Structure 1
Amino acid sequence: MASNQAISSNEAKFVVPTNDLEQQTTLEIESKEFDYSKRSQWLRAAVLGANDGLVSTASLMMGVGAVKQDIKAMILTGFAGLVAGACSMAIGEFVSVYSQLDIEVAQMEREKQRGNGRRREGEDNEEKEDLPNPLQAAAASALAFSVGAMVPLLAASFIREYKVRVGAIVGAVTMALVVFGWLGAVLGNAPVFRSAARVLVGGWLAMAITFGLTKLIGSSGL
């Protein structure tokens, strides 16, 4: 009986570590879940850049459309907004990321001096790979802005009737705003409905304010 109890006791002792190992493995798997904050840099440059291009270009076209119903004027305004906005986004992103790059490189040099230059080559290569790329960020911002700006341009390009054209712009922009809001929420693991609603309402307000103020100024005879 004593020996049987000893065997049972030993078997019981082996069960606990197994459970502990399973729990530890589960915790390790959970801890290795993707860190969505790592997406913040390119997410901001891509999805938000496209949203900026969409809203700003659509607002410009709606503003011009408030005082001039000519399709050529709206298309030229939208195209000018696309080019100007893409260049502005690219330059702004380039300057911003380059400033961040200078700061990180200076910090690396300070850490290297504190270590008396005793750093492994592999560590230096890894740190250099993690550094932000100003040209890449600028190109991504310009491309994303252009993609967003093309939505209202394409919606208005082939419609001669003024009211139908304005309705097509609003409809296309509404759909794109919902998609951009949903995409940003999914990529950032944020609440989808709240994000899409926030982007949609913001875009509507921008177009409505631009249209209303331009119409007011145009009707005043200035």
Structure 2
Amino acid sequence: MGNGLQRYLVISSICGIFMRHHEIHTSQRLGWLRASVLGANDGIISTASLMMGMVAAGTSASSVLLTGVAGLVAGAMSMAAGEYVSVHSQADTEKADIRREIRELEEDLDAEHRELEEIYVARGLTRNLAKEVARQMMAHDALAAHARDELGITEHSSARPLEAALASAASFALGATIPLLVVMFAPIQWMQGVLLGVSLVALACLGGLAARVGRASVLQGALRVCFWGAAAMGLTALVGHFFSVSA
């Protein structure tokens, strides 16, 4: 290889390391953003809807509050369990893929080199450059190169079931706390209206914030989550009205 190409490879490697550690793209935020927004949305909508149904049924303020607390605990545990199982399945799949790559590297190193070379050619490198990059990558860390470039698995993107479960449970609980505070302080005769208003404002702020972080339309994000939140609370209030304790 010529000196020019060698300098190119060195500079590209240095730039790649720098960009990987210092530049943050929107797509890198999607994992935690998804879990946080989903958990908080569920916390607000589920808890507020449950309590709206209880208020519409004509129950006492203490019963409404008890329903909200029970909904918070049950919802947080459900979110944690669902996220843990889902992400753990992803982690198991990643581990199985890594084990297969280890076996393939042990059985046929040349074939794995050609496979990595073809990946780089498909990404736009010339054949000679792709061959040299594949050679250097495999000489440095063959398994990491295949995990990253063939499987799309990196240290930052790998599945972490416990972290995902705790984050989902915490975000659900934080979201559910908002309607609970309304029930704790609002008079029973105003509770339904205040609960609806505060919950929709919280949902709008959350949807707008998520859209802004994701560089999408803030208004559309806020309206979208408000629509579904209002629909859920309206339907549960209707159910509570039909099964009113005074009926």
User: What TM-score, normalized to structure 1?
Assistant: 0.78
2:166 matched to 1:166?
A: no
Contact 2:57-2:242 at 8 Å conserved across structures: no
Aligned residue in 1 for 2:171: 144
Distance 2:175 2:156 in 1: 30
Q: Deviations over 1:77-113 (max 9, x none)?
A: 0000000000000010000000000001111111121
Contact 1:36-1:188 at 8 Å conserved across structures: yes
Structure 1, unaligned stretches of length 5 or more? 1-28
Higher relative contact order structure (alpha carbons within 8 Å, sequence separation ≥ 6): 2
Distance 2:78 2:222 in 1: 26
Offset of 1:34 from its aligned partner?
4.6
Please point out which of 182, 190, 193 is paired with 1:155.
182
Higher-Rg member (1/2): 1
2:131 matched to 1:105?
A: no
Q: Deviations over 1:1-36 (max 9, x none)?
A: xxxxxxxxxxxxxxxxxxxxxxxxxxxx9xx97532
SS in 2 for 1:163: coil
2:199 matched to 1:178?
A: no
Offset of 1:68 from its aligned partner?
2.4
Distance 1:71 1:137 in 2: 34
Please point out which of 43, 48, 52 is paired with 1:58.
48
Please point out which of 234, 239, 247 is paired with 1:213.
239
Please point out which of 131, 138, 144 is paired with 1:123.
144
Aligned residue in 2 for 1:68: 58
Contact 1:101-1:132 at 8 Å conserved across structures: yes
Distance 2:171 2:32 in 1: 11
Aligned residue in 2 for 1:17: none
2:82 partner letter: G
Q: 1:73 to 1:174 in 2, by over 3 A?
A: same
Q: Percent identity?
A: 42
The root-mean-square deviation of aligned C-alpha atoms, in Å, is 2.5
Distance 1:61 1:71 in 2: 10
User: What TM-score, normalized to structure 2?
Assistant: 0.70
Greater shift, 52-61 or 124-133, is seen at 124-133
Aligned residue in 1 for 2:134: none
Distance 2:76 2:162 in 1: 14
Offset of 1:41 from its aligned partner?
1.8
